[in-house]
Structure 1
Amino acid sequence: MAGQQVGARIGVLGAGAVGGMLAVLLAEAGHEVTVLGSERTSTAINVAGLSLRSGRYGERQVRVSARPYLTAPVDVLFVAVKAPDLLTALDRAPAALLTDAAVAPLLNGTDHVALLRAARPQAAVVPMTVSVEATRVAPGVIEHLSPFAEYGIAAERERARVDPEDVLRSAGLDVDASAPDEAVLLWRKLSFLAPLALITTHARQPIGPARDAHPDLLEGLVAETAAAAATAGAEIDPAAVAKRIAGLPEGMRSSMLKDAVAGATLELDAIAGPILRALPDAAPVTRKVVAEIAEAAGS
């Protein structure tokens, strides 16, 4: 490791729950943070600041620069948009301003990594994951709902002048670098997220009642996701995933469930697509659940 990076130039693409929370914590750690969001969101942040309400981190409010487009180079660009918005959002971060920068996506799924490497070849794309329950209650106002906020990064990764792991650790954030490579990193997250997101959205209930009402569906989703991970060389223990899901707070809602209730676009392809493509003839439970979610959403 290069050591902690204090005062790095940080871009955060996406001012939703994940990006907004991260921007607050990195700004408080002394980094020069620029948030990239819509005109409405940028104006709200520039007027009133960016605030975080968290049981773990307390109430924090910071002043950061917010704008619709990046106008100066950054050392690290954290990408925290929803997968369906990625291509459009990338227009906010011109390639010429990312030369030699680290681009650290915090998206769900696996396919976004190849897309980012093709779209921003001058940058070092360093895949990361985040496990957190948070919500944006208004532009520039974030509520952190879970007792945890866990970031993951692969031990073997492309290196850049400023390492995203060092940046996060400088803010006192928890970073797990135990995954040997990015396939293991991404599938570790997806093996937990896909069953959680799909069972809660299918049931239209938080995880507690959803897992109690549909134990067979949940078991099938966990097993099929682990089987899909194996095709990418990532070994996942279904029993360990099931135990982790069983230990979640009963009222926890996945972001996909929140999107479904709000009538927003669902990340069905980002979360379930890698499983269905890896197991075209061997994922009947996932296929059934996804089809029923898509039908209910009218997509």
Structure 2
Amino acid sequence: MLAILGPGAVGGLLGAALHRAGEDVVVVARPASARRILAEGIQVRSELFGEFTAMVPVTTALPAGSAVVLAVKAYGLPDVLPQLAAARPSEVLALLNGLGHAEALGEIPGARCGSVQVEAAREDGVVIHRGRFLIVNVPADADGRIAAALRRSGVDVRVRGTEQDVLWAKYSFLAPTALLTSWADLPLGEALARDPDVARGVVDEVAAVATADGHPTTSDELDALLRRLPATMMSSLQHDVRAGGPTELEAIGGHLIVLGERHGVPVPTLERVVDDLRSRLAA
């Protein structure tokens, strides 16, 4: 059995796609969410999969020995770790943002960290999937049962080197995208144009931290990548900041500042952007 732990926008989309493809899948949710999913299913509006409702089986307890897709927000990881450890899963593929969760999951046998590239949000209980891409990246040693099931469900699964390779490949562009769209509270194209000095500073500093952490990245390459993304893209961090939290700000932005300090890389622009967002959330 496959279990989706955390059926939010990403987890809900994956769970619905797996169920529609006939996979043996269950979603694991908190009681209120479980009651809603039991009554209404997971409603999806997707440019890739179309519009449908998946009546996915739901539970509040992780089935023992299941293969687990971990799709909680980074700030929710401490709450689910005891349940995850107690269930002794056969396999775990974590799709959290950032880098810091890899260390915490190191104590769970069979847990590997991947990443997901998708623009999805949950709006009024409906999973809205924008764009025609849904890519799950897995390290070479995690191309197993979960990856196979995702492929069968129509997900583009790609194998990319080591766990850190996979995490940094996303983190390097997720961090500037999430931080700039949230700071400007604008879609990516407008956020990049609003204050070019801040945008370039964030890109330069993310590239410098990535390089110092063992994943060589140039500012020009990263800037070009951001400008190839849809100009209308908005980030989940942006949506969460608008709502007043909780957010993944510390997992995405705060961790970059920690890494900068660890490697002796100055990150004044990142500090300014993260501090501004912290102040906005505290207001």
Q: Name the TM tier (shorter chain).
A: over 0.9
1:223 corresponds to which residue? 204
Q: Equivalent of 1:130, from 116, 119, 124?
A: 116
SS at 1:110 equivalent: coil
Deviations 1:168-208 (A, max 9, x none): 2121211221x321112111111101101111111121112
Where does residue 55 of structure 2 map in the other structure? 63
SS of 1:276's partner is: helix
Query: What is the CA–CA distance in structure 2 between the aligned matches of 1:153 and 1:237, rounded to whole Å?
Result: 23
The question of whether the paired residues in 1 share the 8 Å contact of 2:208 and 2:218 is answered with no
- Counterpart of 1:164 in structure 2 is 146
Amino acid at match of 1:97: A
Aligned pairs, number = 280
Q: Name the TM-score, length of structure 1 as normaliser.
A: 0.88
- Segments of 5+ residues of structure 1 without an aligned counterpart are 1-8
- CA distance in structure 2 between the partners assigned to 1:147 and 1:116 by the alignment: 31
2:15 match? 23
State the alpha-carbon separation in 1 of the partners of residues 168 and 241 from structure 2: 24
Aligned to 1:277: 258
After TM superposition, list the pairs within 5 Å mapping 1:1-299 onto structure 2.
9-74=1-66, 76-91=67-82, 93-99=83-89, 101-118=90-107, 120=108, 123-139=109-125, 141-155=126-140, 157=141, 162-177=144-159, 179-280=160-261, 281=264, 282-298=266-282
- 3-state secondary structure, aligned to 1:209: helix
Question: Which amino acid in 2 is paired with 1:214?
Answer: D
* 2:2/2:146 contact within 8 Å kept: no
User: Is residue 131–residue 149 contact of structure 1 (8 Å, CA) maintained in 2?
Assistant: yes
> RMSD value over aligned CA atoms?
1.8
Distance 2:253 2:206 in 1: 9
* Contact 2:245/2:281 (<8 A) preserved: no
Using the TM superposition, give the Cα deviation of residue 154 of structure 1 relative to its aligned residue in structure 2, in angstroms.
1.7
Tell me the secondary structure at the aligned position of residue 106 of structure 2.
Answer: helix
Structure with greater helix share of residues: 2
1:42: Cα distance to partner?
A: 0.5
Contact 1:183 1:233 in 2 (8 A): no
1:237–1:170 CA distance, 2 compared to 1 (3 A) = farther
- For the 8 Å contact 2:209–2:260, the answer to whether it is kept is yes
After TM superposition, where is structure 1 displaced by more than 6 Å over at least 4 residues in a row? Answer: none
User: Equivalents in 2 of 1:127, 1:154: separation in Å?
Assistant: 7
- CA positional deviation for 1:85: 0.9
Q: What amino acid does structure 2 have at the position aligned with 1:194?
A: A
Q: Distance in 2 between matches of 1:243 and 1:273?
A: 24
Counterpart of 1:41 in 2: which secondary structure?
A: helix
- Corresponding residue number in structure 2 for 1:5: none
Partner of 1:6: none
Contact kept in structure 2, 1:52 and 1:59, CA below 8 Å:
yes
Distance 2:245 2:279 in 1: 14
CA distance in 2, matches of 1:56, 1:41: 25
* SS of equivalent to 2:48: coil
Shift in Å at residue 158 of structure 1? 5.5
Counterpart position of 1:3: none
Q: Distance in 2 between matches of 1:265 and 1:96?
A: 26
